[in-house]
Amino acid sequence: MSADYGDLISDSDSDACEISSESEPADRYYDGTYYPICIGDVLHTRYRIIHKLGWGGFSTVWLARDEQTNEDVALKVLVAGSDGEKEYEVQKWVKESIEEGKREGLVLYKDAFQVQGMREEHRVLVMDVVGPNLDMTLLRMLLESHIKCYMVVELCMETSMKAP
């Protein structure tokens, strides 16, 4: 017996597009590239993990509660090794090079620490939570509101043109 998940977008719809949502490759945890985190973990004796916000080639990003300040923060856990350290060094350089009053629109870390991974240490950047993941917001709009793909493309183009 096979599961029937229904049709989200009809094949006959000329505006149909493929929708996929995936998580990061599990093997990147097994080989030590990503740092394994579970909901409820506490990092740096301070940041309790609440939810995964996203991932990319060089990091995973988690919503956490700062138990000292009682505020929500985003923890960007960089991959182990030189690739992760490059991102940290670039952000550090930007922080040191640009005057504080001229950083509007930049999302830079507020604090940084390291956690020991399977083979190497992982740098963790503590950042402000700035808003929802646009990819997931648009996907949810497609699935729940049944809007057409061309409308999402138009929204993306308008948003990118208004960005600072």
**pLDDT tens digits for 102-156?**
777 778 899 999 999 998 999 999 999 986 655 655 566 566 665 566 665 666 5
Q: Is 37 left (phi over 0), alpha (psi -120 to 50) or beta?
A: beta
Query: What is the reported pTM?
Result: 0.69
* pLDDT of the residue at 146: 54
What's the whole-number average pLDDT of the chain? Answer: 79
Averaged pLDDT for residues 80-103 = 87
- Give me the residue spans of the domains in the chain: 27-130, 132-164
Residue 137 in contact with residue 131, Cβ under 8 Å? no
Using an 8 Å Cβ cutoff, are 123 and 114 in contact? yes
Reading the block at residue 74, the tokens are 């985003």
Residue 76 marked as a ligand binder:
yes
- Helix/strand/coil for 64: strand
Cα separation values, 135 from 9, 21, 22, 85, 152, Å: 18, 9, 11, 26, 10
User: In CATH, which of 3.30.200.20, 3.30.1300.10, 1.20.120.1200, 1.10.10.10 is domain 27-130?
Assistant: 3.30.200.20
Residue 54 has pLDDT above 90, yes or no: no
